[in-house]
Every structure is written in C-alpha cells, then in structure tokens.
Amino acid sequence: MYLEITDMRTITDANPNVWELEFRNSPVTIGSGSDNLIQLPDINVAAHHATLQPMGDHWLYEPTTRDGDTKINGEVVGDKTEVHDGDLIEVSHFSIKVTLDAEVQFELPDPAKVDELAKIRQYPLPPRSEVRRADADIGLKAARQKVLAGFAAKLRDCRDLAAVLEATVAMLHKELSARVAWMGVRKEPSGPLEFIDSRSEQGTRIDEPPNFETFIYRCLTRQQFISIPRTGDGETQSVIALPLLSNGGAIGLIYADTRRRTRVFDLADLDFVTMVALLVTPLVEAVLHEPLGKAEGVGGEALSWVHEVRAKLDPQQLPQWPGLGVAAYSRPGTDSAGDVYDVMKLPNGLAAFLVGHVTAAPVRIVQVVAQLRGAFRVAGLHADPPHVQLKAMNWLLFDEDDPCRVDMAVVLVNPKSGAAEVASAGKIGVLVIDAKGAPRKVVNTQTPAVGTTKNHDYAGGSVRLHEGETLALFTRGWTTVCNETGKALGEGKFVETLCDGFGQSAGAAISELISDLTAFLKKGRVPDDITLLLVHRPSG
C-alpha cells in the first residue's frame, strides 16, 4: 500500500507539505501521537485516531474514535470500512490518498531515514501537539501586532546579546503569562547553546527547561515549530518551543510554558512567538558577528582608546583590610570594551566594591566609566548604601537621546564581621563561594540595568561572608571567552572553575583560575572585556 499524505493548509504554498509512505502486510496506525506510523500533527486529531489493517487483497480502515470528522471519498465514516485503490481519506486538515496497485515499484528507505525515524520515536511529543515547518503561513490579531511593534522598538536599543536575550524573555514572560520563558543562542548552527537567559515566576534563572533534549532535537535539528496544548505532566500545562533560523541553520531556541491548570497555549500563541523569533534572529546574528567597534562604524583605534582610558581609571593598587583579602583580574576584549571596577576604603572602615560593564557608543563608554567611578567614590564618602548608589547613578546616566546600559553591582563589606550590603542592576555576576567550594548567588539578574529605566527604585540585600568564604564579582564577558576551537567558556564552566579555588587567598585563587583556563585565556580568544574581583575572608 502506497500513501500520499497532504496537509491541506499548505496546498496553496509554493512548497506544500506532502509526504509519501509505503507499507506492506502490517497494521498502520494513524493519529497525532508521535508513536504512530502516520503522525498527523494537529490538536484536532486524537492521539490514536485509526488503524489501517491488511486483509489479504484489501485494507480495512478501523477508527479508534468516533469523532464524525473522518471521510472516505467524501462520505463520513464511523465504523470499519474497506479501503480500495484510489480512495481518499480525509482526517481534519489532512488528506490521505491510497494506492494499492501491485505493479507500482517503490524504493526501500535508506538506513539514514530508518535511523531518523528511530530518533523521532526517541523524542516523542504528547498527543495533539502541533508541529509546523518554518514556511507555514501565520496570522496575528491587532492587539498582538501592537505588542510586536512595541517589542521591535525596544529591540532597537539592544546593543549586545545580553540585552536582546533579556528583552525577549521579559516580553514573552509577560505576554504569555508564562511559568518560564527561556531563550538560548549559539554562534554557529551546531554545538551547544552558549548564551542563555530565562525568567521564572519567582524571578530566578533556570539553566534548562523541562524535556530540554527533546526540544533540542526537534527544534534545532529538525527545525520544528512546536505547540503542546496539554503536556500531561504534573507541573506544566502548555509549551511552545521553536528555533531561531538563520540562513545557515538553527542558531537559537525559544521556549515558554505555563503552570498546570492555568493558561492553555493555542495556535495564535504559536503564531505570535514565531513572529518574535523572526524579529529577534537578525539582531542576534548582528550582535554575535558585529562587535562594538564594527557596529558603531569605527575601527580598532576607537577600541584601543576606550581600553587606554579605562586602564588609567582602574585602581593601580588595591587596599587591604585586616581579616579581608582582595585581588582583581581584568583583561581587555579584542572586539568590545566597557568593563569598570573600583575598590575603596571608606572613612568608617568599611570596604566598598564596584564591578560593572557599560554598553554604549565608544565615546559614551568613556564618559560613563568616568562618571561611575566618580559617583561611586563620592557616595562612599557619604556612606550611601548600595541601592541608593544605583538609584543615583541611574538618575545621572539615563538619557533617551544618548542611551547607555550599565550592568553592575555595588557591595559594602564590614571586614570585622563579614556582614555585607549588596545591590545589583542587569546581568552581573555576584556569588559567595563557601568553605567547601559550593556557590550561592546573592543578586537578582532580572533587575533593570542602570541607564535603561527612568527613575527606577533599586532594592538592596544583605549577605554574610563567613570565615573561609570568598565573594566573587565578575562581568558577563567571561561567558564569551573561547578556546582555540572557538568553543565558548560559558557561565557554568567558569563558575565551576572559579569554585575549585575555594579556601585560598584571593590572589592564589585568581592565579589558579588563570592556570586552569590556559586553553581559553592564553591559547584562545577574549572577545569582550573580562573582570573578576575576589574578596576573601580567611579562617581563624
């Protein structure tokens, strides 16, 4: 038996969705579930809709459900029906043309296709999942069009990948009422997703969404656009997952889900997220392959100038405190610049620390770095707490006509007790490594970056640095450092290597980190500025 299956929704396209299959002397199952021999990806088709049974010289159509929507040659069928040569079976949006001509010769499937079918079954989707191709037609309601217009305007202000990721997951989280909104990006259409961002209901960050490997295979490898109305698990209700498709292949993945017994995603939601991906992909490609100097239309001289100014502003000698050791490591990026850090001994004996990264035009970067350092030192003389400093810096730097973005953290530490006040803005690394090498994050990376939101009130937090523990502050440039093969270091690997130096003095920990990352720091490439500041409270 030879079957020609057509998705009638694509029949007017230049490349309609049509596939051809051959079966011999074995039952053929039909349904929306991925365990069927013929999977019809449509929420209106039951998981196990029907079976075609071989009956000697003819086949028998046996419906599993009685939905009244199936037709054979235009007639509604509800019971077992013989299928003859030339019959046309209609199931929802699909037509299945049957050919029983014994003289027709068919090519046997090659081993690669057999392996592919096995892998499809390895990563199944729940029944009634909707699976689309990239060239499928979509539509948007007027309200969604306005949301996309506003999102597109916001994307124009995104000058690096971190800003693109943050803007996208924040918008999806809000618009879809999502339990989790997640996005991952890679530089080339192969390998792992190197840069990720996410937003959960609790404001925390997750490394991987549920069933991650399934969506990696189906969205990135097979380039499928997936909507699952009901997952059937105990935590999530609905899921949307789809790829970011560049000319060379899939360079990213967008994922969103809802909590159980809440919102159910529909095809309009899949259309909306598809449009989001279409808007985001060109910008992702641009910020990945057109670093600061190129994007601003300037050459290496401007970049060198930014690095030179920054080197003059960075502290030349770090103050030390009894019972508190401090060490720093920084290195200029080959493609981009913008890191800033400072350490100050306050009149009241406290230790003050600033680490940040400025994203702006080269001249604006130099201006902002100088303003940040000046504001930080004046605030220290006034004993301003960290969250007050961030609010003041935001008021100083916010300018719609000359925008900038500052991802930063300010920390005040009491050297005697280890008590610390912390405030952060945007994507900045701040964590405490305990005496056993376990890290704990102490900031919320979902807070708006300084200079991006007018009159934002930043919240402060507190943490205690116990004996034997180390406070680490670092910029996001560490995640982009690559080895000789072009593989990015990534946040997970960086934090893991950083934690391996637990219990040591700040200087010794940095030396060990540099040694452990030789393949990246000495033999590889550092595209963006990197800065690491360690504050260690020794035991005893």
CATH 3.40.980.10 fits 142-289, yes or no: no
Position 15 scores a pLDDT of 63
For the segment 366-418, what is each residue's pLDDT rounded down to a tens digit? 999 999 999 999 998 888 999 999 999 999 999 988 889 999 999 999 999 99
Cβ neighbours of residue 240 closer than 8 Å, sequence gap 6 or more: 176, 226, 227, 228, 254, 255, 256, 257, 265, 269, 270, 273
Question: Residues spanned by CATH 2.60.200.20 within the chain?
Answer: 2-110
What's the whole-number mean pLDDT along residues 513-532? 90
| Burial call 291-302: b when 16+ CB within 10 Å, e when fewer | bbbebbebeeeb
What's the whole-number mean pLDDT along residues 53-57? 81
For residue 363, report the phi and psi dihedrals to the nearest 5 degrees. -65, -40
Asked if residue 352 has pLDDT above 60, the reply is yes
CATH 2.60.200.20 fits 2-110, yes or no: yes
N residues, the chain: 540
- Cβ–Cβ contacts within 10 Å for residue 305, how many? 16
- Cβ–Cβ contacts within 10 Å for residue 502, how many? 18
Position 117 scores a pLDDT of 62
pLDDT band for position 330 (cuts 50, 70, 90): very high
**How much is the pTM?**
0.56
Q: What is the CA radius of gyration of the chain?
A: 28
Position 25 scores a pLDDT of 76
* Distance in angstroms (rounded) separating the CA atoms of residues 360 and 368: 9
- Contact present, 182 and 169 (Cβ < 8 Å): yes
- Lowest mean pLDDT, pick from 143-147, 308-312, 375-379, 478-482: 308-312
For the segment 92-114, what is each residue's pLDDT rounded down to a tens digit? 888 999 887 544 444 444 555 55
Question: Residues spanned by CATH 3.60.40.10 within the chain?
Answer: 300-537
What's the whole-number mean pLDDT along residues 454-472? 93
pLDDT band for position 67 (cuts 50, 70, 90): low
- Cβ–Cβ contacts within 10 Å for residue 178, how many? 26
Position 116 scores a pLDDT of 63
Closest CA to 261 of 242, 299, 233: 233
For the segment 205-242, what is each residue's pLDDT rounded down to a tens digit? 787 899 999 999 999 998 999 999 988 888 899 999 99
pLDDT > 70 fraction of the chain, expressed in percent and rounded: 92
Q: How far is CA 488 from the centre of its chain?
A: 15
pLDDT band for position 300 (cuts 50, 70, 90): low
Position 469 scores a pLDDT of 95
pLDDT band for position 23 (cuts 50, 70, 90): confident
Position 105 scores a pLDDT of 44
* Distance in angstroms (rounded) separating the CA atoms of residues 138 and 117: 28
For the segment 241-297, what is each residue's pLDDT rounded down to a tens digit? 999 998 889 999 999 999 998 999 998 999 999 999 999 999 998 877 655 444 443
What's the whole-number mean pLDDT along residues 335-356? 93
pLDDT > 90 fraction of the chain, expressed in percent and rounded: 45
CATH 3.90.800.10 fits 300-537, yes or no: no
Q: Please, what is the Cα angle at 426 between 422 and 430, to 5 degrees?
A: 40
Closest CA to 104 of 4, 16, 27: 4
For the record, the structure tokens of 397 come out as: 């730097």
What's the whole-number mean pLDDT along residues 9-24? 72
Position 335 scores a pLDDT of 84
Query: Across all residues in the chain, what is the average pLDDT?
Result: 86
Question: Residues spanned by CATH 3.30.450.40 within the chain?
Answer: 142-289
What's the whole-number mean pLDDT along residues 425-435? 93
